Structure 1
Amino acid sequence: MDLFKNVELLLSKTKDVKPKQKILLAVSTGVDSMVMLDIFLKSNYNFDVSIAYVNHHLREQSEKEKEFIIEYCKKKNLNLYIKDWPKQFHPDTGIEEAARNIRYNFFADVLLENQIDLLLTAHHKDDQAETFLMKAIRSGNLEELKAIEQIRQFKTKKIFRPFLNFRKQSLRNYAKKNQLIWFEDESNYENDFFRNRIRNNYMKEFELENSKVVDHFANISNQVQEMNLLKRNLLKPLIEKIKIKQNDSCLTGDLNKLLKQDELIQKELLKSFFKEFSFSKNLVVNQINEVIKLLNNNLKPQGLINLGNGFYFEKSYEFFAFKNNIFTEKKGQIQKNSMVVLNHWMTTDEGQSFGVFEPNQLPINEDCQQIKISKTDLTLPLFIRKGLPNDTIQLSNGGHQKLKRILINKKVKSEVRNKITALVDSKNDVLYFFNLKAKQPLHNLFGDYYILLIR
């Protein structure tokens, strides 16, 4: 059965897709989206098709692509909605995420303004496998490995991805057979972005070992998604029993009822509560272990753990709670902004990438500055926050030096001084002032250390 017939069969099984429905196709002029456009224009469902196109201005040929899609839609008498994202609005770092946010905010606006209920994107099985591998490398969190969903809620509308069960090569074969015109994004062959390195290097190496690896990764992603759904259904009665109340700033639960569960169930319940409260964020292993340790410490009836990004976990006698934005910034007050997750890359507010790694967990082939941090007298978890003028850091002679003196000695400009980031432990002991000075150990480390990587 060819690709067109397979897609038509899928449509017949998808309850959210109906004949003559108004649909919005996200088209980039690449082969994937041009195949999707061709199939849905030919579909026996006689869809009312509109096109959304974003010109990111990231490469020279983008203007030619824009002209092409304009002419294409004129010939086919299709509604076309265009978003331009000029270079002067591009961020210095995190451009992939920023571009994605621009696209999907634009798509949401078009759907809402034109009363279209369904957005289609051309993600395929290769994308599914690449995303799985990216998440496995970046997060180490099982729940992050869930599949891209074929159809899901998108604000008040829905996103449908009809190609998730098909390999990219099948899309290319369709495009050639039907003599479609498309544009190749030359930047896809450059390894500046993480996804490109996954696609161009790692996945090709894996496929040399097993030609079915894309199918396997995609299948694992789907299994994780099914397991998450099963877990959610099994935990639902306990969640309803333990949760007391929830609003925008707090989710409160009954501590005694939570502690009656086995520790494994406690962990899963806490992850579910946090996911429900924080929507898109997950607790990572170090965080959940810190929370469990606090909950089961009978000598500490009260406690607070900073989970980063404005979220906190609080234990208070017979209750536990997830909260956000519970501190207001006051002059001179120490603000612990983000908890540092060991063995993971993170980013400061100033856009600098860093990570605190065990020596045996160091990333491969990363060209970075390395700083050893003694584990002696260090109390986990670690945090990053703004450096304060009276913060002090230990010197090699056992003395201490204030941040304001370091700034004076290094002749740091005044407009930069309030942007210094400090890495601290949970006792607020400064381990590193970014790009300025590291805490000096008073003894030989011999491997009893973490390694701070900065790139």
Structure 2
Amino acid sequence: MKNLEDLKLSLKKLNLKKDDLLIVAFSAGPDSTALVYMLKELGYTNVKLAYVNYHDSEFVPLEQKLVNETSKDSGYELFQNNVYLEDVSGKNFENWARVYRYNFFASLTKTLNAKGTLTAHHKDDLIETYLIQKSRSSLVTHYGLREISVINNIYIYRPLLNYTKQDLIDYLNENKIPYYDDITNKNTSRLRNKIRTFKLNSEEISTLLEEISFKNENLYLISKQIDSLCQKEKIDYKEYSTLSDEIKKRLLWNKISQVMPFITEKKVQSLVNKCLEFLKNNKPGTIYLIDDYYLYQDSQYFFISKYLTTNPYEYTIEKAGVYSFETISIDLTDGRVFNVFDYSYPIKIRCIKSGDKISTKLKTKNVKHFIKSQKVPVYLRNLYPVIEDKNGNVIYVPFYSDITNHLIPLTIKLIH
């Protein structure tokens, strides 16, 4: 059995001190039982045990007995929740149980004002998680398991990732510590349990750990690139088109999750595929995503947003100055930029209307034809601004490139 030095180093790295109030996710199985007694041996005294009894087998009374005995022997107070199988009929029990227990850990951690919850995930779990990730070809933010993560707004610590399951069982056997061997872990209808039936030799394990490390280093570099793009409200299509397929997927995944944090990972994946297909064509347009959210694309950018309202607007301005309205902001200090002079007032800034004509020397007289020739995105055309003088004549329609390149002091707030 490995000594406790690896655990001491992990706890130090995680900044978990002996007097910190800590929750241990406990089940009386070998992993969590080993963690409890190892913490006790290292002098951690302010520890609480969090246990969920699922009443999912005939051996539950034995499990409960060992839970109670471990709490008493270790001196760590026990907090318990009970669940019954009939309460989760028709649901994916494994997924439901995970959500339930992490909600319990979060509630207990916050109630007791603990530093976080420790789980007994070990090296075997890390490798199993990675193999599941590979089998599903899913996008992930980290391969394997992190030593520390945030779930339900609490810290989850995994200080045993340098130990194998056999290391932990050896520790228990050497110290004659009883534990519960959960029979449900032998149910191979569950993917993780099926993977556990495949025995890996030390060379295969080393190869997988190196592979995980390499992929996470690469993922870190990709994440830095994606983070800078995600900070922008609108993404430049030319820049997007130069990215690899994997980075495109990750960028869309992050952007969708950022804008719609309430949807499931499965739904995010579906929307990523939908956006990828739409963006392949590089044509201005709009596609519906979910609820009130859409992906919008013009000739230069694309972005994800709630549906952009097309309610008409009209603002009256009596004199020169700087103005900011709900839809438009404009600096009329020098009105000549907009073909506005003292005799033009009062003027109106409004969205275009059917039949609008441009009363200037421009060749194109019809406003709608003009903005179409300017490649104004379809989703903006009904909101595009014109300036009307006191006589009701349209005296100014901005070039779209002047707005997007900030060449005039006018902003359509929906696109900036």
Both structures adopt the same fold (TM-score exceeding 0.5): yes
In the superposition, relative to structure 1, how do residues 109 and 185 fare at CA in structure 2: closer, same or farther (>3 Å)? Answer: same
Instruction: Determine the structure 1 residue equivalent to 2:219.
Output: 228
Instruction: Determine the structure 1 residue equivalent to 2:287.
Output: 304
Q: Which amino acid aligns with 1:178?
A: N
In the superposition, relative to structure 1, how do residues 296 and 86 fare at CA in structure 2: closer, same or farther (>3 Å)? Answer: closer
Q: Which amino acid aligns with 2:144?
A: A
- How far apart in 1 are the matches of 2:223 and 2:267? 16
Aligned match for 2:78, one of 80, 84, 88: 80
Offset of residue 316 of structure 1: 3.8
Q: Which amino acid aligns with 1:172?
A: I
- How far apart in 2 are the matches of 1:263 and 1:61? 52
Give the CA RMSD over aligned residues.
3.0
Residues 174-232 of structure 1: per-residue CA shift (max 9 Å, x gap): 111111110111122232322111112xx22xx2xx54323433443343333222222
User: Which TM-score applies when normalising by structure 2?
Assistant: 0.65
Residues 122-158 of structure 1: per-residue CA shift (max 9 Å, x gap): 1111111111112222x21353661211111233321
| 8 Å contact kept, 1:23–1:47 | no
- How far apart in 2 are the matches of 1:324 and 1:225? 33
- How far apart in 1 are the matches of 2:302 and 2:38? 52
- How far apart in 1 are the matches of 2:260 and 2:276? 19
Does residue 184 (structure 1) correspond to residue 168 (structure 2)? The answer is no
Instruction: Determine the structure 1 residue equivalent to 2:345.
Output: none
User: Which TM-score applies when normalising by structure 1?
Assistant: 0.60
Aligned match for 2:203, one of 212, 228, 246: 212
The 5 Å alignment of 1:364-383 reads: none
Q: Secondary structure at the residue paired with 2:4?
A: helix
Does residue 97 (structure 1) correspond to residue 98 (structure 2)? The answer is no
In the superposition, relative to structure 1, how do residues 324 and 57 fare at CA in structure 2: closer, same or farther (>3 Å)? Answer: farther
- How far apart in 2 are the matches of 1:278 and 1:192? 33
Q: Which amino acid aligns with 2:287?
A: L
Does residue 198 (structure 1) correspond to residue 195 (structure 2)? The answer is yes
Q: Which amino acid aligns with 2:180?
A: F
- How far apart in 2 are the matches of 1:130 and 1:314? 36
- How far apart in 1 are the matches of 2:141 and 2:267? 10
The 5 Å alignment of 1:51-450 reads: 51-137=49-135, 139-143=136-140, 146-200=143-197, 203-204=198-199, 207=200, 210-240=201-231, 243-244=232-233, 253-256=234-237, 258-259=239-240, 261-262=242-243, 264=245, 266-279=248-261, 281=265, 288=272, 290-298=274-282, 300-304=283-287, 306=289, 313-317=294-298, 319-322=301-304
| 8 Å contact kept, 1:274–1:283 | no
- How far apart in 1 are the matches of 2:79 and 2:34? 19
In the superposition, relative to structure 1, how do residues 197 and 304 fare at CA in structure 2: closer, same or farther (>3 Å)? Answer: same
- How far apart in 2 are the matches of 1:124 and 1:4? 14
| 8 Å contact kept, 1:124–1:165 | yes
Offset of residue 296 of structure 1: 4.7
In the superposition, relative to structure 1, how do residues 313 and 165 fare at CA in structure 2: closer, same or farther (>3 Å)? Answer: farther
Instruction: Determine the structure 2 residue equivalent to 1:36.
Output: 35
In the superposition, relative to structure 1, how do residues 266 and 170 fare at CA in structure 2: closer, same or farther (>3 Å)? Answer: closer
- How far apart in 2 are the matches of 1:284 and 1:49? 38
Please, which moves more after superposition, 67-76 or 28-37?
67-76
Judging by fraction of residues, say which structure has more strand.
1
| 8 Å contact kept, 2:45–2:76 | no
- How far apart in 1 are the matches of 2:7 and 2:240? 49
Q: Which amino acid aligns with 2:88?
A: H
Instruction: Determine the structure 1 residue equivalent to 2:7.
Output: 7
| 8 Å contact kept, 2:22–2:46 | yes
Q: Secondary structure at the residue paired with 1:57?
A: coil
Instruction: Determine the structure 1 residue equivalent to 2:365.
Output: none
- How far apart in 1 are the matches of 2:51 and 2:116? 16
Q: Count the aligned residue pairs.
A: 304
- How far apart in 1 are the matches of 2:307 and 2:4? 50
Q: Secondary structure at the residue paired with 1:53?
A: strand
| 8 Å contact kept, 1:130–1:198 | yes
In the superposition, relative to structure 1, how do residues 239 and 75 fare at CA in structure 2: closer, same or farther (>3 Å)? Answer: closer
- How far apart in 2 are the matches of 1:132 and 1:91? 30
Q: Which amino acid aligns with 1:23?
A: L
Offset of residue 314 of structure 1: 1.3
Q: Secondary structure at the residue paired with 2:173?
A: helix
Q: Percent identity among equivalent residues?
A: 26
In the superposition, relative to structure 1, how do residues 282 and 311 fare at CA in structure 2: closer, same or farther (>3 Å)? Answer: farther
- How far apart in 1 are the matches of 2:21 and 2:269? 43
Q: Which amino acid aligns with 1:41?
A: K
Offset of residue 42 of structure 1: 1.3
Unaligned runs of 5+ in 1: 245-252, 327-455
| 8 Å contact kept, 1:294–1:315 | no
Bigger Cα Rg: 2
Instruction: Determine the structure 1 residue equivalent to 2:385.
Output: none
Instruction: Determine the structure 2 residue equivalent to 1:355.
Output: none
Q: Which amino acid aligns with 1:270?
A: L
| 8 Å contact kept, 1:143–1:228 | no
| 8 Å contact kept, 1:31–1:172 | yes
| 8 Å contact kept, 2:257–2:268 | no
Q: Which amino acid aligns with 1:50?
A: K
- How far apart in 2 are the matches of 1:281 and 1:323? 19
